[in-house]
Structure 1
């Protein structure tokens, strides 16, 4: 299958509601190179995604498995930074913040608008979030 189709397919599958999608280079029988397409989705989206893959690719069949999934609780909070208000996704485990991450799309726009490396934007925002979190700690 033409490799350009994967980019198109990724967009369509994510738009349907897949949680994630990726490809792997593999070798099939008789040592033939191939690309394995992997999609992670909720069970309700499975038939729609299968139909799309069968219609849009050269595959003759699809294998799928059901998996259990555990996720952290999440909350998005707007935090004031020197770049403006930025959405930060906080992940919680047993009620405590375990990790956080600024929203990529917002950071990308900031990097482009301020002509800064994306890495610098992430570092600046991380510093601001750390100060924000410190303000809630009991001294």
Structure 2
């Protein structure tokens, strides 16, 4: 039986933001990888228009408060920003579970999300689906569709509803 008690709210989080208008955009994936490797929970870039109409990017890093110094060190070393904004954040995390779904190409892992004990999310693992699509020469969306059908057909999911 799935224990939905693993659903929780992390209250000691921070969202770090930096607006950057003078950095080579090719650096963004490198910076993102470094931040994830150092413990960031989420990293994303948003295209923005800055003062005097200059195009720029906003870096957003969601991280546990105790990891802020690690993030600062990477951001100041690897980007051209001269400052960071800090916003206090709380994150509501659904209870999670992993399951295997059989397909005609073999098993695929799916991530299940539970809210108050009810199944509300199901997502096939992208990298596994991508590997199947490449290996068998089938469209990625076809792999996803078969995983979803296989999950629905399995039908023995704890928590009641299906996403």
Is TM (by shorter chain) over 0.5? yes
Report the 3-state secondary structure (helix = DSSP H, G, I; strand = E; otherwise coil) of the residue aligned with 1:100. Answer: strand
Equivalent positions of 1:1-139 (< 5 A) are 1-133=23-155
What's the RMSD between the two structures over aligned residues? Answer: 1.8
CA distance in 2, matches of 1:32, 1:114: 45
Q: Compare relative contact order (CA 8 Å, sep 6+) and give the higher one, 1 or 2.
A: 2
Which consecutive residues of structure 1, in runs of 5 or more, have no partner in the other structure? Answer: none
CA distance in 1, matches of 2:79, 2:97: 37
CA offset at residue 24 of structure 1? 1.5
Tell me how many residue pairs correspond in the alignment: 137
After superposition, give the CA deviation of every residue in 1:60-81 in whole Å (9 maximum; x if it has no partner).
1111111111121110112322
Query: Under a length normalisation based on structure 2, what TM-score does the superposition of the two structures give?
Result: 0.77
After superposition, give the CA deviation of every residue in 1:43-86 in whole Å (9 maximum; x if it has no partner).
23221011100001111111111111112111011232222221
Which consecutive residues of structure 2, in runs of 5 or more, have no partner in the other structure? Answer: 1-22
Which structure dedicates a bigger proportion of its chain to helix?
Answer: 1
CA distance in 2, matches of 1:77, 1:61: 43
Query: Under a length normalisation based on structure 1, what TM-score does the superposition of the two structures give?
Result: 0.90
Which structure dedicates a bigger proportion of its chain to strand?
Answer: 2
After superposition, give the CA deviation of every residue in 1:7-49 in whole Å (9 maximum; x if it has no partner).
1111111112222211122222333322111111222322101
Report if aligned partners of 2:102, 2:147 keep a CA contact under 8 Å in 1: no
